[in-house]
Structure 1
Amino acid sequence: MSTVSRNSLKRSLLELECHFTWTLLKQDADLDSLEKRIENRTEFFTKNNVSNYNLLAYVCHLKNSNEEALRNLQKAEEEIKKNHPDEIPRRSLVTWGNYAWIYYHMENYEEAHTYASKVGNSCKKLSSTAEWKSEFPEICAEKGWALLAFGRKYYERAKNSFENALKNDLNNPEFNAGYAIAMYRLEELSYRENNDVSLSLNPLKRAVELNPTDTSIIALLALKLQTLNRAVEGERYIEEAMQKTPDLPYLLRYAAKFYRRKGEMDKALEILKKALAVTPESAFLHHQLGLCYRGKLLQLKRATRYPPEEQVKELIRLATFHFKTATVEKKEFFAAFMDLANMYTEEKRYEEAEETFQKAIQIHILFDDDKQEFCYHYGNFQRFHRKSESEAIRYYLKGLKIENDSYARKRCGYGLKKLLEQRIKRCSEDATDFGTLGFIHNLYGEKHEAIECYEKALELCPDSEDYLSALCELRLSISS
């Protein structure tokens, strides 16, 4: 094929609606973990397997396994023939688009052109307008599911994709489920930032109403009700769901989370062990087990002043084991690494804690609130266990300076303020302590307290242009 023809083919490929044109970036996903999750879904959810096999093909391509990618596309085709025999061209558009791209990357340009042409010809037959893409809600929905699978960076786009699908098919159970899940996940992130978390309630209710057999959605509705302090109502949904599909791991994981948050650790553990028997390599389940054992440890310590040492050791051992297993099964599992580091700290295994903290911060898929979470916990580790107040201050301050309004940032600010006040109470003559405390007061809008701190910092360090500049700005803001 000539260079001109190849460039022409590439242009036609870029017009296709498929995983290769949806900007699903390799660096934003833990591909090994994602591959396992999709494979599990193909086993337990038979309805949406065309989407699962298409996504699995794309993930295989990203892992440089194009032959395996083609095998998954063949499975997608088999699913289409079995479940949609009267709509094969319409239902195959994404699959054929993926075929075209994979053959292109394999330098089999003839096959790539054949599949690109199949998409183009089918679209002409299926639609009389040029804007054919927007007329196929199934493609919008499949894009939404793929975006959800690639993680939180993509949740807003996923929500928009499901909204587009719903414009053409308002009562479709699958589209409503996807939209509700996207809304729920976005609000889980908002919850970490103390924002309103009630907008997903009605979409979840609507999804359950349209498909009362989808117990994983019922479980999400229960968790949302629990978050909104309607736990009694939520528990009725959980119990109903567990009667319908008592062995579905995707329901069990959420049911366990519900009971863990309720404080019923033993019930949550029982459910998690049942789910683990079905999907033993699930990082999510191992992490939840670790959280339950840690929860039992906290309950034990609250219940008695001198908890039995052997019981404490066993709970720490179990929590540590499951957190560590979660990090093995999912190499980019930030929360599990942080929980494991804190559990090592609990055992006074400080070298292992240090090593685990460093692994956590080196994960390449980190968001601002993750970095703030790290700064808070690592600051605590330095302050209370390494006895290094200067390092604790450095990390609390680093977390505070990341301009993202999260709960972790508030904790960094609280920890830093308390530590500085303690140091000053001990008659600290360090200008930096007063300057940093002035910065915190100013950040919280406490201008008079900030001025006092900067004045004291200048007394101790008269040549500091930073303190003088901050003080002048504060005085001007009060007088203006």
Structure 2
Amino acid sequence: MSVNADEDQVRAKLKQLRCHFTWNLLIEDTELSDLEIRAFDEIEFLDTKFNVGIHNLLAYVKYLNGHNKEALESLKEAEDMMQAEHADQSDAIKLVTWGNYAWLYYHMHRLTDAQIYLDKVENTCKKSASSSSYTIECPDMDCAEGWALLKFGGKNYERAKACFEKALEVDPDNPEYSTGYAIVVFRLDGINKTSYVGEAFCVEPLKRAIRLNPEDAYIKALLAVKLQEIGQEAEGEKYIEEALANMSSQTYVYRYAAKFYRKKGAIDKALQLLRMALQATPSSAFLHHQMGLCYRAKSYQINTATNWQPRGQDRENNDRVAKSAISHFERAVELKPTFDIAYLHLAEMYVQVGSYSKAEDVYQKLLRVRSLEEETRQELYFRYGRFQEFQKKSLVDAIIYYLKAIKIEKPSFIRDKSISALEKVVLRKLQKNAVDIESLSILGFTYKLKGEMNKALEYYERALRLAVNFENPVGHTP
């Protein structure tokens, strides 16, 4: 048989496997470096029973980066871990590891080695009486796929959620399935902003995961942050204190504890926790972003206390913390070039320190990004509108971007601020020109959005009368 025929046969078998090479894990090339850093950090600092999966993920990321030899080393670590630490490891994680081996050897043109691992998969599938020679259907396999999708970021979260839900249907009290499901719905809550004061979908899954994993400090930290977000800060702080008292996964607990204390207003405590976390994981984009947010908050405190006119020592302190915020935001986007919200915060700080050309560059970069989340895009348009209004002194461009923010109809605090800002801008224009038809129409639109229909009609009618008079001036026949 020809080499090509052999290769075609092997590839046909490989396509039947369930592993990282077949799960259609969506990620941009620019995110791979950050994902590799996060995988290393998790292996070293996150106390979990599920590390075999992280080694598999790391192997796949190394393959995507073109480092096949290093990818094999990661798979060897996963295999050694299965044998040494997890004698009772499920067949699913073995099949995922062997499937990754087979695919990697195939891409390295080592068909004989690929076939060795395909044979391992086939023999295991036969023992489990699977209907397929190269796949088994079981909740552990769904869980493994769920973890892989979860680690690969937001574009994969809905599919990850479906995987954990499928696993939980079979074994609803499984601690690992519950943990994975709780984490992914926590992340989805953050993206979709479905929670509001008093309610959040992910709270009950997080509490259930804690009941099944009472020593999991990381899950307690996530729950604390979410409880604070929905107005239950006192209960959240109890979970934060429990998590901090537990030595498990401390580097990761520090991250969310810092976020909790920053939002509580305890900025110095938050910074202390973040510095400890950065000592362990200095290349974490998340941590640098959180540091930037803390310094931004300190700058805001100084500015509000001095009515936005700091002088003397206050001015020096404000300059120092603003520069620190910028430094950490710059490092965050350097480590993770797709960190859109960090770019937005960076532009905001550039504006504050008067670096308008740098702010413009960042805004233009974000305006070119097509894959922005709705909420981020809405905030981008609002922030850029303010930049045009107050720094560029262009009321016309400010109106354009406030309208863009409003046309994203997702209800939010930023949308409400955009409506208010738009109203103020058009009122300023009307003070200069009371017969500006466009401004009258836009003002009517803002009142309509606010539900003030009588005022909306008044301004629409004024605009319409002016338009008619403009088209049919006195002394001319229509």
TM-score, shorter chain, exceeding 0.5? yes
CA deviation after TM superposition for structure 1 residue 210, in Å: 1.6
* 1:376 maps onto 2:382 in alignment: yes
Specify whether residues 421 and 282 from structure 1 end up closer, same or farther in structure 2 by C-alpha distance, changes over 3 A only: same
**Cα displacement string for residues 197-227 of structure 1 (whole angstroms, at most 9, x for unaligned residues):** 4221111111112222211111011112212
> Which one of 284, 287, 310 corresponds to residue 285 of structure 1?
287
Give the aligned partner of residue 402 of structure 2: 396
Specify whether residues 423 and 139 from structure 1 end up closer, same or farther in structure 2 by C-alpha distance, changes over 3 A only: same
**Cα displacement string for residues 258-296 of structure 1 (whole angstroms, at most 9, x for unaligned residues):** 110111111111111111111111111111111111112
> Which one of 263, 271, 274 corresponds to residue 269 of structure 1?
271
Alignment of 1:307-326 (within 5 A): 307=310, 308-326=314-332
Give the aligned partner of residue 17 of structure 1: 18
Q: Give the AA of the match of 2:69.
A: E
Q: Determine the C-alpha separation between the residues in 1 that align with 2:330 and 2:352.
A: 14
Judge conservation of contact 1:183–1:199 (CA < 8 Å) in 2: yes
CA deviation after TM superposition for structure 1 residue 453, in Å: 3.7
Specify whether residues 77 and 269 from structure 1 end up closer, same or farther in structure 2 by C-alpha distance, changes over 3 A only: same
**Cα displacement string for residues 79-101 of structure 1 (whole angstroms, at most 9, x for unaligned residues):** 11112224475431111111222
Q: TM-score, normalised by structure 1?
A: 0.88
CA deviation after TM superposition for structure 1 residue 107, in Å: 3.2
Give the aligned partner of residue 474 of structure 2: none
> Which one of 203, 215, 219 corresponds to residue 213 of structure 1?
215
> Which one of 255, 258, 268 corresponds to residue 257 of structure 2?
255
Judge conservation of contact 1:341–1:356 (CA < 8 Å) in 2: yes
> Which one of 164, 167, 172 corresponds to residue 165 of structure 1?
167
CA deviation after TM superposition for structure 1 residue 156, in Å: 1.7
SS in 1 for 2:193: helix
Specify whether residues 461 and 115 from structure 1 end up closer, same or farther in structure 2 by C-alpha distance, changes over 3 A only: farther
Judge conservation of contact 2:195–2:230 (CA < 8 Å) in 1: no
Q: Determine the C-alpha separation between the residues in 2 that align with 1:212 and 1:252.
A: 18
Q: Determine the C-alpha separation between the residues in 1 that align with 2:240 and 2:182.
A: 17
Specify whether residues 78 and 443 from structure 1 end up closer, same or farther in structure 2 by C-alpha distance, changes over 3 A only: same
SS in 2 for 1:21: coil
Give the aligned partner of residue 242 of structure 2: 240
Q: Give the AA of the match of 2:179.
A: A
Q: Determine the C-alpha separation between the residues in 1 that align with 2:164 and 2:29.
A: 21
Worse-superposed segment, 133-142 or 212-221:
133-142
Judge conservation of contact 1:26–1:62 (CA < 8 Å) in 2: no
Judge conservation of contact 1:190–1:197 (CA < 8 Å) in 2: no
Give the aligned partner of residue 138 of structure 1: 140
**Cα displacement string for residues 368-417 of structure 1 (whole angstroms, at most 9, x for unaligned residues):** 22221211111111111111111111112222223544443343333223
Judge conservation of contact 1:192–1:406 (CA < 8 Å) in 2: no
* 1:84 maps onto 2:86 in alignment: yes
Q: TM-score, normalised by structure 2?
A: 0.89
Q: Give the AA of the match of 1:320.
A: I
Judge conservation of contact 1:255–1:271 (CA < 8 Å) in 2: yes
Q: Determine the C-alpha separation between the residues in 1 that align with 2:430 and 2:324.
A: 41
Q: Determine the C-alpha separation between the residues in 2 that align with 1:179 and 1:311.
A: 44
Q: How many residues align?
A: 465
Specify whether residues 458 and 254 from structure 1 end up closer, same or farther in structure 2 by C-alpha distance, changes over 3 A only: same
Give the aligned partner of residue 386 of structure 1: 392
Alignment of 1:416-427 (within 5 A): 416-427=422-433
Q: Determine the C-alpha separation between the residues in 2 that align with 1:94 and 1:64.
A: 20
The alignment yields a C-alpha RMSD, in angstroms, of 2.8
Give the aligned partner of residue 95 of structure 2: 93
SS in 2 for 1:284: helix
Q: Determine the C-alpha separation between the residues in 2 that align with 1:228 and 1:193.
A: 7
Worse-superposed segment, 352-361 or 301-310:
301-310
Q: Which runs of 5+ in 2 are unaligned?
A: 472-478
**Cα displacement string for residues 297-346 of structure 1 (whole angstroms, at most 9, x for unaligned residues):** 22233334454221221221221221122122221111111111111111
Percent same amino acid at aligned positions?
44
CA deviation after TM superposition for structure 1 residue 34, in Å: 0.7
